[in-house]
Amino acid sequence: MTDANRRGFLKAGAVTAAGAAVLATPSVSRAQTTTLRFQSTWPQRDIFHEFAQDFVSRVNAMGGGRLRLELLAAGAVVGAFQVLDAVHSGTLDGGHGVSAYWFGRNRAFSLFGTTPPWFGDANQMLGWFYYGGGEALYRELMHDILRMNAVGFMSGPMPTQPLGWFRNPIERPDQIRGLRYRTVGLATDLFQEMGAAVVALPGGEIVPALERGVIDGAEFNNPSSDRVLGFPDVAKNYYIQSYHQAVECFEILFNRQRFEALPEELRAVIRHSAEASSADMSWKLQDRYSRDLLAMSQQQGVNVRPTPRPVLDAQLQAWDRVIARQEGDTSNPSAGPFFKKVCDSQREWCRRVGNFSLRYNVSAVVSYNHFFARG
């Protein structure tokens, strides 16, 4: 081979190798990073803010340097109860909270957060949202009825919430009457039906109000949140199990224009991050909630008791009246036909799925007692 031929051969080989390297190199977008301000409705130290961070971390990890959420705690830009309006206006790009907080704007919002207790658990409610028509109804409420410039995803199945914290023991339904009590969403109607004077407060304001005697009792959500917010320091009677908020999940909000302006793959990152963080939360809370409940009872002198059956029965009877009144209130644009439309959809799902779950799953009580409750 002559020198000229050799040089030509080497040059051709170099070109071929370079071409192969181009083909083997993944396509990397050099688009500028989109940064969105994302505020939770939770205090910085609450485990709920940690759950919001878990969602944000997944988006940032999968965003490939093209999408980044900047997480802020409640009050950083607006108060907890102002997040939806801030997302709507574009003051915030997104937010993490619960749809029951927008109950005052339309009562049907609570049906996507703290529903009547016809769902067996919150995972069944998420099943309804994503596979039983709930997401379409949510969009109808958000976009068609209220004209809100926001999109939302449901995420994070919560266990049954406690009846709450009380200075004095609660043994009978009549003790609810006249009680100044904190809750949110449809549970406000439920406790008003039971005779309580209901006060709606964001998470960070509940314990100071209980300590000052502004309220007589309160619920927030779970042992980990309740412990870090300081409930054991101001009350010792903690009643778990209740039908007022038997199921709930988080709502992840984004400004609609900002969300729809994102490329399709980044919109998918947000949606799938909501799903992934939902699963992770359901695993993490098993560890944290169980540890904190034991710590409060064993180390902080909290009397952890199940809500008495007469109170539970009274709650279910009150639910019947609340649902009938809301569905029949045709003069109220926040209730009436659309409220009933959502309830009908949920009932249809719960009859079928709840029946399957109760018939199909073996009793966890029997097996738990067999292995762990022996004398």
Query: How do residues 53-71 score in pLDDT, each as one tens digit?
Result: 999 999 999 999 999 999 9
Q: Which residue has the higher pLDDT, 140 or 12?
A: 140
pLDDT at 64: 92
Mean of pLDDT values over 286-291: 98
Please check the confidence at residue 159 and state whether its pLDDT lies above 90.
Answer: yes
Going through 206-278 in order, the beta strands assigned E by DSSP cover 217-218, 237-240, 248-255
pTM across the whole model = 0.88
Q: How confident is the model at residue 5 (pLDDT cuts 50, 70, 90)?
A: low
Structure-block tokens of residue 136: 């379409």
Q: Which strands, in side-by-side order, build the sheet including 34-40?
A: 67-72, 34-40, 94-97, 248-255, 150-158
Please check the confidence at residue 14 and state whether its pLDDT lies above 50.
Answer: no
Q: How confident is the model at residue 204 (pLDDT cuts 50, 70, 90)?
A: confident
Q: Which residue has the higher pLDDT, 296 or 28?
A: 296
Q: Which strands, in side-by-side order, build the sheet including 303-306?
A: 197-199, 180-182, 217-218, 164-166, 237-240, 303-306
Please check the confidence at residue 340 and state whether its pLDDT lies above 90.
Answer: yes
Q: Which residue has the higher pLDDT, 46 or 19?
A: 46
Residue with tokens 């952890």: 304
Mean of pLDDT values over 35-50: 96
| Measured distance CA(267)–CA(331) in Å, rounded | 38
* Mean pLDDT for the chain overall: 91
* Partners of residue 197 on adjacent β-strands: 180
Q: Is 246 helix (H, G, I), strand (E, B) or coil?
A: coil
pLDDT at 336: 79
How large a percentage of the chain has pLDDT more than 70? 91
pLDDT at 113: 86
Please check the confidence at residue 254 and state whether its pLDDT lies above 60.
Answer: yes
pLDDT at 25: 39
pLDDT at 95: 98
**Each residue of 297-336: pLDDT tens digit?**
999 999 999 999 999 999 999 999 999 999 987 777 666 7
Please check the confidence at residue 28 and state whether its pLDDT lies above 50.
Answer: no
**Each residue of 273-283: pLDDT tens digit?**
999 999 999 99
Please check the confidence at residue 350 and state whether its pLDDT lies above 50.
Answer: yes
pLDDT at 1: 55
Structure-block tokens of residue 229: 């917010």
Please check the confidence at residue 16 and state whether its pLDDT lies above 50.
Answer: no
Please check the confidence at residue 349 and state whether its pLDDT lies above 90.
Answer: yes
